[in-house]
Amino acid sequence: MTSKKRTSEPYQIKGVDALFGSDEVIDEGAAVHIPIEKIVLPQQQPRRYFDPQAMHDLVESVKQHGILQPILVRPLKNGFYELVAGERRFQAAKIAQLKSLPSAIRAITDVEAIELALLENLQREDLNPVEETEGIISLLSLKLNQSTESVIALLQSAAHPERETVDNVIHSPEWQEILTVFQSIGKFSPESFRTNRLPLLKLPQDIMEALRAGLIEYTKAKVIARIKDESLRSSLLSDAIKNSLSLSQIKERLATIQSSTPNTLNKKLPTLRKQIDEAYIKVKKSKVWNNPSKQQQLQKLLTELEALIVE
């Protein structure tokens, strides 16, 4: 699935300007050219996927026009520079075999560098829902200085207004920080993010990978994820991608699969097994062994049961 460029941004996150209070870092005149071999990627890199077609187009543009907007780097003690923002331009420059890159150099802390990388990642036009969700969780984790698991638990804790603890949560300093982050993003409220995006992190691995690669929309992915059988789910996922199935077509396929799967029987099986186990215990404790007539009936039932098992 080739990503389409948005004609307008539905929301805007403050990135470089939010940290430095100036647009100086994107000024071509303020940039210096740094040898590309002197630029290294950070250990914690939020970006995972680049759309192949979009990257190809950028590489061709770089070959013709060069890098039009400087990347942002910070100096390291060993004489190298760590990339802070602009990884897509950096990767395209490497492919285009440029010798140096226009760069804005800023001495910023580790936390500021990670925050800025996350913010830039969230501004991407080709960002898929999984990456966006993980990026927001990572940003909240950084701001709150908590693990991602703790952040998710905090978001979930506000989902039950009937509980007395909710009032304590929403008036806590941590929750106020969460509200500030979501206000800066401008696309979600904590509630809409919890309801619509957190469930994406529980998707099956095959569907998660397809979403990361931009092969399928998340609305379609959520429908396919309803199939518990791994082989059936994989088959429908592959078919949906290969034939560009619409959401309605996927729902039709899902209905067909569900109607042909003996779900009702599967639900009854645990109860049936329990009944057989209980019957076996009762037979062993009963006085049927002292009654020849009942023994004959029991023998007949066992014969029928054995025939059923063999069949």
Q: Report whether pLDDT(8) > 60.
A: no
Q: Report whether pLDDT(98) > 60.
A: yes
**Burial class of residue 237 (count of CB atoms within 10 Å of its CB; 0-12, 13-18, 19+):** buried
Q: Report whether pLDDT(108) > 70.
A: yes
Q: pLDDT at position 164, please?
A: 55
**121 or 290, greater pLDDT:** 290
Closest by alpha carbon to 226, among 259, 258, 265, 270?
Answer: 258
Classify residue 148 by its DSSP letter.
Answer: H
- DSSP-derived 3-state class of residue 101: strand
Identify the domain boundary among 200, 225, 243: 200
182 and 155 housed in the same domain? yes
pLDDT interval class at 1 (50, 70, 90) = very low
Q: What is the mean pLDDT of residues 188-207?
A: 88
Q: How far apart are CA 24 and CA 83, in angstroms?
A: 17
Residues 6+ apart with CB under 8 A from 19: 108, 112, 115, 116
Q: Is 244 within a domain?
A: yes
69 and 33 housed in the same domain? yes
268 and 247 housed in the same domain? no
Q: Which two tokens stand for residue 273?
A: 């097994």
92 and 136 housed in the same domain? no
Residues 6+ apart with CB under 8 A from 252: none
187 and 213 housed in the same domain? no
Q: Is 11 within a domain?
A: no
Residue span of the structural domain in which 293 resides: 263-310
Mean pLDDT estimate for the chain? 78
Q: Is 271 within a domain?
A: yes
Q: Is 42 within a domain?
A: yes
Identify the domain boundary among 200, 226, 249: 200
**Residue 39 contacts residue 75 (beta carbons within 8 Å):** no
**300 or 160, greater pLDDT:** 300
- DSSP-derived 3-state class of residue 76: coil
Which CATH number characterizes residue 110's domain? 3.90.1530.10
Closest by alpha carbon to 146, among 177, 185, 103, 171?
Answer: 177
Q: What is the mean pLDDT of residues 153-173?
A: 70
Q: What is the pTM of this model?
A: 0.59
**Residue 223 contacts residue 256 (beta carbons within 8 Å):** no
Q: What is the mean pLDDT of residues 66-91?
A: 90
**Residue 66 contacts residue 58 (beta carbons within 8 Å):** no
Q: Report whether pLDDT(37) > 90.
A: yes
Q: Tens of pLDDT along 60-69? A: 999 998 888 8
The domain total for the chain is 4
Range with the lowest mean pLDDT among 4-8, 165-169, 269-273, 289-293?
Answer: 4-8
Q: Is 6 within a domain?
A: no
Identify the domain boundary among 68, 90, 122: 122
Q: Tens of pLDDT along 125-136? A: 666 788 888 888
